[in-house]
């Protein structure tokens, strides 16, 4: 991107509109102007009209500032974007990196690639062979909903960047990020962005706790309206009730610190060669009495609130407009527009970027069109003067064009007068074009087939992990039995162990079927008869579609509580072993999927009156013989009519386990 003379970085938050206008000045930048417009209400309040607040802020901004010749870089909230980081395998040819990243994005982004706008950033440390890539994405409907407000006011975006990445750009340019990992905690209205950055790397996570959570705590503690609680929160530092306010908000402090500790712990566990350095705090929430000290003590890291920047000077003002950290995102956005940002990824939808580029080229296209018209006029005049000469050579080509000779005519044209020569070449070209169209049409079916096969392979690595998670959840049979590799060894092992059929702790899977669904939340999963199965599930967020699979397992367990046990009692064993373990092995961070709802039901074969249960019935059916007094295990010869046959339905959500759950135990 060529750096423009002046650039606006615009960050529209839930509580205020913030903008910084920068221009290049020597080897650095200077602030031309800033703007801070506080909304009359917080957008997330129940009685607020977000669209009206957006329009009001943009109208006030345009009334005070002329942006005609400026480029605009717009920020989007971190909570609306997806960030994934992974190390690439060693690559000798750097030109292959885009293809590798495309494959990684396919695996890491839990949505159809047509539903998102995404970009990536390559991070390389000098002297290190490791190449890390950050993949950033946002749902198309979210970015369009965000940009429509600007479009309604005639504001065209030059680039779009996620707020955490813009904050990193600002801190990096301002010299606050060095070789040691620097932690940035940016507490917003609805969420908190945690950024860990070094000179050559970046990691970020959005925590779903923000200023509104502190306000809600005051609403509950003091029985206030939201607006009054918000006022109390903002004046807490000077209030005579500061201690009571702190106590009311203490649970939120604790939740926030716990999430920060989890996130920092995850980062240090996955980046063991990186040392944590300073911690910087940003956002008005750090004005709350005791918050800075509380975070500092619990993280055991030195925490400094950002009050100013070293490389730019912001105009002084009262309230939020005078808090330098409130401009950090806008500062970083403007730096990217000047081509001075460390992170250059861009989430502007390609179709919008292309339309904007064409619009800017229109004046040049108009001038070019005028030149072409003038040239055409000259050519036409010259053509009129030459027409009589050409008429003298107006004979027919004298040669027919077929599919076999068209290419030969183009490559070795016959010696003809100009006009017949032109006609012959035109006919040959038309014939070749027709052949090309026919051949292209013939390949359509093959291309469609290849595309479908490619889509089938998209989740091949995930399926290996899903099957592994199911296999690892199965109970381990007693020593000796588990090592049997064939039927003969198995029979010998159970005889040596001397264990009855119902005491061997075995569960057998007879079939596994699956069905892909665009949204797993649209499918009802029957939880069955077991209250223990109703453990925590992860509900989807508003507007989010979660693709995945509905997996059905059918199997049996040679286990019963006692002779008179009913189906529910006999199924307790399967529920307390296999199903319980499924919730552990299927809920591990970084797998690319997680097991959400799980239902256990007795299969029809197990119910009273269902004759010929399980494999015994299938064997009798194949032999076309009447059934005997009971089913028999075809391997061991044991009576199997007491086996418990079950059906388990698992909702598999494609995408990582929600990051707020750092434990693998549900």
Q: Taking 60 as the threshold, does the pLDDT of residue 412 lie above it?
A: yes
Looking at per-residue pLDDT, the higher value among 569 and 84 belongs to: 84
Q: What is the mean pLDDT of residues 424-452?
A: 70
Looking at per-residue pLDDT, the higher value among 436 and 314 belongs to: 314
Q: Taking 60 as the threshold, does the pLDDT of residue 512 lie above it?
A: yes
Taking the domains of the chain in order of start, what are their residue ranges? Answer: 177-305, 369-444, 455-473+507-654
Q: Taking 60 as the threshold, does the pLDDT of residue 393 lie above it?
A: no
Angle at alpha carbon of residue 376, lines to 372 and 380, rounded to 5°: 175
Q: Taking 80 as the threshold, does the pLDDT of residue 653 lie above it?
A: yes
Nearest alpha carbon to residue 122 among 110, 135, 112? 135
Q: What is the pLDDT of residue 371?
A: 60
Helices 50-64 and 140-152: angle between axes, nearest 10 degrees: 50
Q: What is the mean pLDDT of residues 235-246?
A: 87
- Strands, E, within 48-173: which ranges? 71-76, 81-88, 116-124, 131-139, 159-162
pLDDT in tens, 323-352: 888 999 999 999 999 999 999 999 999 888
What is the distance between the alpha carbons of residues 304 and 296, in angstroms, rounded to a whole number? 9
Confidence of residue 620 (pLDDT cuts 50, 70, 90): very low
Q: Taking 90 as the threshold, does the pLDDT of residue 74 lie above it?
A: yes
Confidence of residue 298 (pLDDT cuts 50, 70, 90): confident
Confidence of residue 660 (pLDDT cuts 50, 70, 90): low
Looking at per-residue pLDDT, the higher value among 605 and 402 belongs to: 402
Note whether 314 and 327 are within 8 A (CB): yes
Q: Taking 80 as the threshold, does the pLDDT of residue 567 lie above it?
A: no
Q: What is the pLDDT of residue 130?
A: 81
Looking at per-residue pLDDT, the higher value among 436 and 445 belongs to: 436
Q: What is the mean pLDDT of residues 547-567?
A: 75
Confidence of residue 92 (pLDDT cuts 50, 70, 90): confident
Q: What is the mean pLDDT of residues 157-180?
A: 93
Q: What is the mean pLDDT of residues 493-514?
A: 83
Task: Determine which of 35-39, 91-95, 312-316, 318-322 has the lowest per-residue pLDDT on average.
Answer: 318-322
Q: Which pTM does this prediction carry? A: 0.56
Q: What is the pLDDT of residue 324?
A: 86
Six-digit token string for 352: 């919008």
Looking at per-residue pLDDT, the higher value among 78 and 481 belongs to: 78
Q: What is the pLDDT of residue 377?
A: 59
- Please, what is the average pLDDT of the chain? 81
Q: What is the mean pLDDT of residues 532-537?
A: 58
pLDDT in tens, 243-259: 889 889 999 999 999 99
Q: Taking 90 as the threshold, does the pLDDT of residue 420 lie above it?
A: no
Confidence of residue 632 (pLDDT cuts 50, 70, 90): confident
Q: What is the pLDDT of residue 610?
A: 44
**CB atoms closer than 10 angstroms to residue 173:** 23
Q: Taking 80 as the threshold, does the pLDDT of residue 30 lie above it?
A: yes
Assign 3-state DSSP to the chain and report helix, strand, coil percentages, each to 5. Answer: 45, 20, 35
Q: What is the mean pLDDT of residues 269-280?
A: 87
Question: What secondary structure does DSSP assign to 258-270, as a single string?
Answer: HHHHHHHHHHHHH
Q: Taking 60 as the threshold, does the pLDDT of residue 396 lie above it?
A: no
Q: What is the mean pLDDT of residues 497-524?
A: 84
Q: What is the pLDDT of residue 61?
A: 95
Note whether 182 and 191 are within 8 A (CB): no
What is the distance between the alpha carbons of residues 294 and 277, in angstroms, rounded to a whole number? 18
| CATH number belonging to domain 177-305 | 3.30.420.40
Highest mean pLDDT among 2-16, 158-172, 451-465: 158-172
Q: What is the pLDDT of residue 507?
A: 87
Q: What is the pLDDT of residue 274?
A: 83
Note whether 648 and 579 are within 8 A (CB): yes
pLDDT in tens, 136-149: 999 999 999 999 99
SS3 594: strand
Q: Any bridge partners for residue 35, and if so which?
A: 19
Helices (H), 140-183: 140-152, 163-173
Confidence of residue 33 (pLDDT cuts 50, 70, 90): very high
Confidence of residue 13 (pLDDT cuts 50, 70, 90): very high
Q: What is the pLDDT of residue 401?
A: 78
Q: What is the pLDDT of residue 428?
A: 81
Confidence of residue 135 (pLDDT cuts 50, 70, 90): very high
């Amino acid at each position: 991107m060529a750096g423009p003379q002046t650039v606006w970085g615009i960050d529209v938050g839930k509580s205020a509109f913030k903008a910084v206008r920068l221009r290049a000045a020597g080897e650095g930048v200077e602030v031309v102007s800033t703007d801070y417009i506080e909304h009359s209400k917080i957008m997330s309040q129940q009685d607020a009209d977000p669209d009206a607040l957006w329009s009001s802020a943009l109208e006030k901004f345009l009334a005070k500032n002329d942006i005609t010749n400026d480029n605009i870089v717009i920020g989007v909230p971190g909570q609306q974007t997806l960030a994934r980081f992974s190390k690439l395998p060693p690559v000798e040819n750097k030109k292959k990196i885009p293809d590798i990243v495309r494959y990684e994005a396919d695996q890491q982004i839990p949505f159809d690639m047509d539903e998102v706008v995404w970009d990536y950033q390559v991070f390389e440390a000098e002297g290190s062979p490791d190449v890390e890539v950050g993949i950033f994405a946002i749902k198309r409907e979210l970015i369009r909903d965000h940009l429509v407000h600007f479009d309604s006011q005639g504001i065209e975006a030059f680039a779009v960047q996620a707020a955490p990445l813009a904050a990193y750009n600002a801190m990096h340019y301002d010299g606050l990020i060095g070789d040691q990992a620097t932690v940035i905690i940016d507490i917003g209205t609805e969420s908190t962005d945690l950024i860990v950055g070094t000179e050559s790397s970046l990691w970020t996570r959005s925590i779903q706790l923000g200023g509104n959570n502190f306000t809600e705590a005051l609403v509950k503690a003091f029985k206030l309206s939201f607006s009054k609680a918000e006022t109390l929160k903002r004046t807490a530092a000077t209030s005579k009730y500061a201690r009571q306010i702190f106590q009311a908000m203490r649970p939120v402090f604790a939740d926030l610190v716990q999430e920060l500790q989890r996130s920092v712990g995850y980062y240090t566990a996955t980046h063991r060669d990186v040392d944590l350095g300073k911690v910087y705090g940003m956002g008005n929430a750090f004005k709350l009495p005791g918050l800075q000290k509380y975070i500092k003590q619990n993280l055991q890291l030195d925490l400094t609130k950002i009050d100013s920047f070293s490389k730019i000077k912001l105009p002084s003002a009262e309230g939020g407009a005078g808090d330098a950290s409130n401009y950090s995102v806008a500062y970083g956005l403007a730096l990217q527009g000047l081509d001075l940002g460390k992170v250059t990824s861009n989430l502007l939808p390609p179709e919008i970027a292309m339309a904007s580029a064409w619009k800017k080229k229109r004046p040049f296209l108009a001038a070019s069109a005028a030149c072409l018209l003038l040239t055409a006029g000259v050519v036409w005049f010259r053509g009129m003067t030459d027409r009589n000469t050409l008429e003298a050579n107006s004979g027919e080509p004298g040669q027919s064009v077929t599919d076999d000779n068209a290419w030969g005519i183009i490559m070795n044209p016959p010696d003809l007068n100009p006009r017949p020569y032109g006609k012959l070449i035109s006919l040959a070209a038309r014939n070749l074009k027709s052949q090309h169209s026919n051949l292209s049409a013939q390949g359509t079916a093959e291309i469609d087939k290849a595309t479908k096969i490619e889509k089938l392979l998209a989740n091949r690595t995930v399926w290996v992990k899903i099957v592994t998670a199911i296999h690892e959840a199965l109970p381990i049979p007693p020593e000796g039995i588990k090592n049997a590799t064939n039927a003969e060894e198995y029979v010998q092992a159970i005889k040596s162990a001397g264990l009855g059929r119902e005491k061997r702790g075995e569960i057998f899977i007879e079939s596994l079927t699956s069905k892909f669904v665009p949204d797993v939340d649209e499918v009802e999963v029957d939880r069955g008869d077991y209250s223990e199965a109703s453990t925590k599930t992860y509900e989807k967020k508003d507007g989010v579609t979660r693709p995945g699979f509905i997996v059905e397992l059918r199997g049996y367990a040679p286990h019963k509580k006692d002779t008179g046990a009913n189906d529910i009692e006999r199924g307790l064993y399967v529920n307390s072993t296999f199903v319980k373990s499924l919730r552990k092995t299927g809920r591990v961070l970084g797998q690319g999927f997680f097991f959400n709802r799980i239902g256990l039901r007795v299969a029809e074969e197990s119910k009273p009156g269902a004759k010929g249960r399980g494999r015994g019935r299938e064997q009798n059916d194949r032999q076309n013989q009447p059934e005997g007094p009971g089913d028999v295990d075809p391997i061991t010869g044991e009576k199997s009519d007491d086996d418990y046959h079950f059906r388990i339905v698992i909702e598999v959500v494609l995408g990582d386990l929600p990051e707020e759950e750092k434990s693998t135990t549900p």
